[in-house]
Structure 1
Amino acid sequence: MHDPIATDDEDLPGASDPPSEKEWADFKTLVGRDRPIPAAYADFLHTCDIRRLKDCVFFDSPEGPLTASVVFPVTREDRAALLRHLGHLRAEIGADYFPIADDACGNFFLLGCGEANAGEIALWNHETGALLDVAPTFEDFIEGLYPDRKPAKKKPAPASGSGWIS
């Protein structure tokens, strides 16, 4: 990922602690014990403070820039969003994908966990049910994320008659 975001932790969603062994085992059960989970995804969840991935843009999509609004944590305290969406998505797309992030518009970034799509990243469109191939590997997806830039803070307008002209 490029240019880490420098913000206060309380502004960021998700968990900063890596999942415990039990939390990781519970997560693997959710995905399916026989389903492949890419080592890069496991390493990422164990080493990255995912709170720093709020509103990142993936520019290299076939349909142009996509925003990963929130990356779902797998820790027990913070995986409510993942659990909330997993059942619905499984009914829509089957068990060969699981959600790793959303775009805040109802669409989900999915990590392939089937034999034919292991490690691939797709975007599920909630309006059409279509899957868009986003990246061939989880590593490519993470490398392509760039923090979304907030608008620069504007200077307050000067007091009337100060002589300062913008």
Structure 2
Amino acid sequence: MSIFLITLSFLFVFIFNSQDVLSAPPSRHLCLPEQRDALVEFKNEIEIGELNRYCGGDGQPKTESWVNNTDCCYWDGVTCDTKSGEVVELELQCSRLHGLIHSNSKLFRIQSLRSLDLSYNDLSGQIMWSIRNFSHLTTLDLSSNNFSGGIPSSIGNLSHLT
């Protein structure tokens, strides 16, 4: 009989305490409006082309989920810092991105980026010198695109790249 009472007491304590945890508001911030707007403008600057032959899956561009006036932290390929809401990762590999990224692209306004993966797309032209704006970047992958010209010396200023 005492085991039954102990079990029942434990169950009540667990249920009572778990209600506070389950009803607690999320501690996550929404993405910053200026970064959301910069991502939407970047999406509008770039074209959607054919899927890279080395990419599997359905080939849907991650930017399709990028809808203005929604929380960009929930968009495909976007990761935000859970405390500040800043965009810290863009993982846009195999997203069918096509064309040029100009040095004045709105993308370069997102200076909080730590990881940028644009691999396996169809981006062309020269690698943008504005990449130097990403001073916190630790990971950069531009492979399997159609970039031409040399690597800008400004990449050497990205001291956190590994």
Does TM, normalized by the shorter one, top 0.5?
Answer: no
Going by fraction, where is helix more abundant, 1 or 2? 2
Q: Give the TM-score of the pair, scaled to structure 2.
A: 0.28
Q: Give the TM-score of the pair, scaled to structure 1.
A: 0.28
Report which structure shows greater RCO (CA 8 Å, sep ≥6). 1
